[in-house]
Amino acid sequence: MKAPRSLKETGKQLWKSITADYSFDDAASLELLERACQAADRAEQARESIEKNGGPIAKDRFGIDQRHPAVNVERDAVATMIAAFKLLGLHAPRDAKTAGRRIGS
């Protein structure tokens, strides 16, 4: 299944990996999967910003150490991914009947 155009590299890789193993035939599941992959893209973008700026602690305009704003973005994006995976049943062991529908089953 082709990845949605809304996804960047990290999200596309995640989409391809999941859809290689699982089949989703309803619109709600596909939407959840797309949102999880968008969140993966967002988390990666935030992580890159954090690393580019020297880590999770940044100096504010007064020179005082503060949490880098992208830390919150990364945290929220990862939480979104995890919630979507749980709703899709992808957090269960691969052989569990609750996880998506395996290709060929």
pLDDT by residue (tens digit) across 51-82? 998 899 988 899 999 999 999 999 999 999 99
H helices of the chain, in order, are: 9-21, 27-52, 69-88
Taking the CA atoms of 89, 94, 98 and 102 in sequence, report the sign of the dihedral they define.
positive
The band of 25, judged by pLDDT with boundaries at 50, 70 and 90, is: confident
Does the predicted model carry a pTM greater than 0.75? Answer: yes
User: Which pLDDT score is estimated for 43?
Assistant: 98
- Reported residue count of the chain is 105
Helix (H, G, I), strand (E, B) or coil at 66: strand
The band of 104, judged by pLDDT with boundaries at 50, 70 and 90, is: low
Q: Does the pLDDT value for residue 103 go beyond 80?
A: no
| CB-based contact 71:56 (threshold 8 Å) | yes
The band of 94, judged by pLDDT with boundaries at 50, 70 and 90, is: low
Which residues, including other chains, have CB under 8 Å from residue 27's CB and lie 6 or more apart? Answer: none
**Alpha carbon distance 70, 95 (integer Å):** 36
Q: What is the largest CA-CA distance in the chain?
A: 60
Amino acid at 62: F
